Amino acid sequence: MNLFQTIFTGSNQAVSAAEGLLKQAIEQKGRDHKVAFPDTAYALPVIYAATGIKITTLGELEGAIGIVKSLIVEELQLTQALNAGLATAVSAEIIEAIKYAMNETPYEAPCAGHISDPIIRSLGVPLVTGDIPGVAVVLGECPDSATAAKVIKDYQSKGLLTFLVGKVIDQAIEGNVKMGLELRVIPLGYDVTSVIHVVSVAIRASLIFGAVEPGKLDKHMEYTKNRVPAFVNAFGPLSELVVSAGAGAIALGFPVITDQVVPEVPTLLLTQKDYDKFVATSLEARGIKIKITELPIPVAFAAAFEGERIRKED
């Protein structure tokens, strides 16, 4: 299947999954049931940024499904492929919103799920000053936990903020990666759709720090492309859904680097099979330059370890 068709397939899967879940949710809770993410002033941030509409009930989500469908136009051109990627992002947000609507605490440790506004605000300054030089979204499953830990620790030692999605979370734990906001490694969730919680961070950065008007999707995409130095590392076999989500990342200006064979797009969608070069490849692709003064000390040294707590048993 050609790349764009793969994206469309994934987008259609995403929207029908969202539609199915929504139908179930409405049957169980009714159309007036409240929908919201905790601690945010931006309702469902991706939908809000894209359309200017604040969704508050399950019933209103039905309208959002219509928006998603209108974004999927199966013409084989980049514009349509990127729009389909955005459609997947919106579908993911709908699915995640339903999770929160149906369950008080859909996410439990170690997973963070939705990231609150205060946390984003706290990240704003170090992002602007370059103290956080980049945002890595690591998703899928590495060939082994040692590889996962190596890549994640490398980002950590370079001061990047790393979000984890999927089995790589378990691999990171197994690889003794220390996690937490202050350590700049945040596991989001095991479902692919939980990746939307990092998209939501980027989009809220545009709303909060960029003061971009809600509804001006183009301007938001311009902001994320130019100002949010994020990129995606997708490990392991890629489903159509993941490829389609990747198109959403590319639409926001975030390159995707994978260990799988895909039709490459220079600077945007790259295959790197050498795990030792994964970090360097990713930083180059996003144009992240890190000023490093490496100190010859036996432990990792970086701002990411500033908030670390040394427990008694350590």
- Chain positions contacting another protein, by CB under 8 A: 1-4, 76-79, 81-82, 263-267, 269-272, 274, 277, 280-281, 284-285
Residue with tokens 């008007």: 213
Least distance (Å) between residue 69 CB and another protein:
21
Smallest distance, another protein to C-beta of residue 76, A: 6
**237 vs 263, beta carbon nearer another protein:** 263
Taking the C-alpha atoms of residue 252 and residue 249, their distance in angstroms, rounded to an integer, is: 5
Look up residue 62 and give its two tokens.
């039905």
Nearer to another protein, 287 or 307 (CB): 287
Q: Are 268 and 255 in contact, with CB atoms under 8 Å apart? A: yes
Nearer to another protein, 98 or 232 (CB): 232
Q: Give Cβ neighbours of residue 295 (< 8 Å, ≥ 6 apart).
A: 301
User: Least distance to another protein from the beta carbon of 142, Å?
Assistant: 18
**Minimal distance in Å, beta carbon 92 to another protein?**
23
Residue placing its CB nearer to another protein in the complex, 2 or 176:
2
Secondary structure class of 162 (helix, strand, coil): strand
Query: By C-beta, is 241 or 250 nearer to another protein?
Result: 250
Q: How far is the CB of 49 from another protein (least distance, A)?
A: 20
Pick the closest to residue 135 from 204, 70, 63 (CA basis).
204
Tell me the pairing of strands 230-235 and 185-189.
unpaired
Sheet holding 230-235, edge to edge: 185-189, 161-165, 135-140, 230-235, 256-258, 269-271
